[in-house]
């Protein structure tokens, strides 16, 4: 779909909100801008006012973008941007229902997993969790779910903070189910993380406050209350 010359006024205000109030990184802001332009163009082509968007309009746009070659992961990012816009617009009283809620991208093809060797399979079946502390168990579960559900690298995961901010290398938006990370080459990317990871993170956050050192921004911390390192996470994963 060709880009429109300028996004509609509500979209412009939302992008300003992301840039000024939420301090979203320039790369993430550009992704939101592109996604919302696609939304506006697709609705305009159907003569549908932005304020009257319905779920069937959203599904039609997703189908059209998929047919144009966008991958399921890219479509998930589009939907995340659209969902966030309508949630913000709803708080302003402009729309009563978020038309993107409940709309999901097409499933990506999954390669067949490699089978574990027999000795590893037996060891896995016999493994008992050595973590007695429920807080650390919740943390390790959230780490595993986030690495699996979002496809994050360990380096991206340990850089996550609890909240977005000018100094944050990355953070998780639980409301959108999206992780914003700083990856290879200092490039910002946003990825959907899935419901299981969101639930695990919420469980960990209820435990985190009892461990965190004063002023520590890191999402994942160790027993001393400081940010976990790559090597600490890899050690936990090996166990």
Q: Give yes or no for residue 76 having a pLDDT over 80.
A: yes
CB of 61 closer than 8 Å to CB of 39: yes
Q: Which residue has the higher pLDDT, 133 or 159?
A: 159
What are the tens digits of pLDDT across the range 117-128? 666 655 544 555
Q: Report the pLDDT value the prediction gives residue 169, as an integer from 0 to 100.
A: 83
What are the residue ranges of helices labelled H in the chain?
A: 9-16, 26-45, 55-67, 72-91, 118-126, 134-150, 154-158, 195-208, 230-238
Global pTM value: 0.48
Q: Report the pLDDT value the prediction gives residue 1, as an integer from 0 to 100.
A: 46
Q: Give yes or no for residue 160 having a pLDDT over 70.
A: yes
Q: Describe the crossing of helices 9-16 and 26-45 by its angle, rounded to 10 degrees.
A: 170
Q: How many percent of the chain have pLDDT more than 90? A: 39
pLDDT averaged over the chain? 85
Q: Report the pLDDT value the prediction gives residue 3, as an integer from 0 to 100.
A: 47
Computed on alpha carbons and rounded to an integer, the radius of gyration of the chain in Å comes to: 20
Residues constituting the chain: 239
Output b/e per residue, 99-130; b: 16+ Cβ within 10 A. Answer: bbeebebeeeeeeeeeeeeeeeeeeeeeeeee
The residue-averaged pLDDT of 83-87 equals 94
Report residue 122 as tokens: 């037996």
Q: Which domains does the chain have, with CATH numbers?
A: 9-91 (1.10.150), 118-238 (1.10.443.10)
The CA distance from 108 to 136, in Å, is 32
Q: Report the pLDDT value the prediction gives residue 62, as an integer from 0 to 100.
A: 92
The residue-averaged pLDDT of 97-115 equals 77
Q: Report the pLDDT value the prediction gives residue 120, as an integer from 0 to 100.
A: 63
User: How far is the CA of 205 from the CAs of 90, 108, 172, 235, in angstroms?
Assistant: 27, 30, 12, 22
Q: Report the pLDDT value the prediction gives residue 206, as an integer from 0 to 100.
A: 92
Query: Could you say which DSSP state residue 3 is in?
Result: P
The CA distance from 55 to 51, in Å, is 12
The residue-averaged pLDDT of 189-218 equals 89
The CA distance from 195 to 224, in Å, is 29
């Amino acid at each position: 779909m060709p880009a429109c010359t300028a996004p509609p006024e509500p979209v412009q205000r939302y992008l300003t909100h992301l840039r000024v109030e939420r301090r979203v990184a320039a790369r993430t802001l550009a992704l939101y801008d592109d996604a919302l332009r696609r939304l506006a163009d697709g609705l305009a082509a159907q003569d549908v006012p932005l304020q009257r968007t319905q779920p069937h309009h959203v599904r039609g746009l997703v189908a059209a973008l998929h047919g144009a070659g966008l991958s399921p992961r890219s479509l998930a990012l589009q939907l995340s941007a659209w969902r966030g816009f309508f949630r913000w617009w709803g708080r302003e009283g402009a729309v009563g229902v978020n038309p993107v809620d409940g709309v999901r991208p097409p499933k990506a093809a999954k390669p067949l997993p490699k089978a574990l060797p027999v000795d590893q399979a037996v060891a896995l079946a016999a493994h008992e969790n050595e973590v007695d502390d429920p807080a650390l168990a919740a943390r390790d579960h959230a780490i595993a779910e986030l690495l699996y559900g979002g496809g994050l690298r360990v380096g991206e995961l340990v850089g996550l903070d609890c909240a977005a901010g000018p100094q944050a290398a990355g953070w998780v938006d639980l409301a959108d189910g999206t992780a914003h990370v700083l990856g290879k080459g200092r490039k910002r990317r946003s990825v959907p993380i899935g419901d299981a990871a969101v639930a695990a993170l919420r469980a960990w956050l209820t435990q985190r406050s009892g461990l965190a050192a004063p002023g520590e921004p890191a999402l994942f911390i160790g027993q001393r209350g400081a940010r976990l390192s790559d090597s600490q996470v890899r050690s936990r994963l090996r166990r």
